[in-house]
Amino acid sequence: MNERDSKLDRLEQALWQAPPATPPATPVPPVEVWQANVMRAVRHAAPEPESLLDLPWLALRRAAVAAVVVATFGWVAALVWAPVRDSDLAQAAWAQSVSETWNME
Amino acid sequence: MQPDAPELTDAELIAQVRAGDVNAYEPLITRHREQVFAIVARHVPGAQVAETAHEAFVRAFLSLATYRAEKPFAHWLARIAVRTCYDFWRQQKRRPETPASGLDDDHQEWLERAAQGIARETFEHETAQREAAEVLDWALARVSASDRMVLTLLHREGHSVAEIAASLGWTQTRVKVTAFRARHKLRGILAGQMKDTR
């Protein structure tokens, strides 16, 4: 270990052994005010009891929207796929006719 | 505040809150605020302690559904407090005003004395203690939020790797790798301030 590393080791040790800055004993605002603010925020964040009753309807609405999305996607996919499918059928029919022609000959 | 609330256990109060009685959360705050303030004050600047503790309690309230009664509420709350401090530093790091200045003369002098191994005796003096804490804060302001949290929890507070992993929700491997890299970065920052090691 060189001199530089030794110095850094000592410095690190000194830094971590230093007592931390004294934390404030009480919150900056009076503790009652601070706690009242926390409770106000908590009440604001708490779900309304009525909204809990809405949960089944919310789930139904979400399921209905999901069903519409899936149906729409399936319809669009069928529209896109139809020409391809038809094309495949056409190709197959052409190949069969060619084969039959050769067999006939 | 309800006069009979302190007689209820944490678990009973939590059950009431979960049942929709938001006011039952207030005795929990009263009971645990000192602990949360003590944790937060070790990680964030003094002026931000109240706000960060506030945030920790609101987060705890919003996460109460995930609390499992097998472990004490105080431990669960302590983890939320540590993660809130971590998020505080992450937000701070996103802000563009990263301090670029070096140490002033007094701190430079302390640093040189500490590197010579003569600082420990001077910790008796309040000024030297304050300077050491300020030099550490200065150096930690130059590493990432994750580096800062891991270094502080590991070296200043003496937590184990397993405890830090649990507090931050990381794997132990991640804690070890972060601690190794963070220490390397910190040494580089300190070396850059020492006159004969630049």
Kindly report, residue by residue over B3-40, the tens digit of the pLDDT. Answer: 554 578 999 999 999 888 999 999 999 999 999 999 99
Per-residue pLDDT, A21: 60
Residue B117: which region, alpha, beta or left (left: phi > 0; alpha: psi -120 to 50)? left
Nearest CA in chain B to A4: B197
Q: How far is A1 from chain B (nearest CA, A)?
A: 14
SS (H, E, C) B119-145: CCHHHHCHHHHHHHHHHHHHHHCCCCH
Per-residue pLDDT, B181: 95
Per-residue pLDDT, B195: 67
Q: Do A7 and B197 touch (CB under 8 A)?
A: yes
Of B137, B136, B149, nearest to B182 by C-alpha is B149
| Cα–Cα distance, A32 to A38 (Å, whole number) | 10
Report whether A19 contacts B123 (CB < 8 A): yes
Residue ranges in chain A whose pLDDT is less than 70: 1, 19-28, 48-56, 104-105
Per-residue pLDDT, B5: 47
Nearest CA in chain A to B48: A28
Of B85, B3, B27, B23, nearest to B51 by C-alpha is B85
Torsions phi, psi of A6, nearest 5?
-60, -40
Per-residue pLDDT, B149: 94
Q: Do B194 and A11 touch (CB under 8 A)?
A: yes
Kindly report, residue by residue over B89-111, the tens digit of the pLDDT. Answer: 999 887 766 555 677 777 877 77
- Which of B5-19, B110-124, B165-179 is most confident? B165-179
pTM: 0.70
Cβ-based neighbours of B22, under 8 Å, separated by 6 or more: A39, A42, A43, A46
Per-residue pLDDT, B185: 93
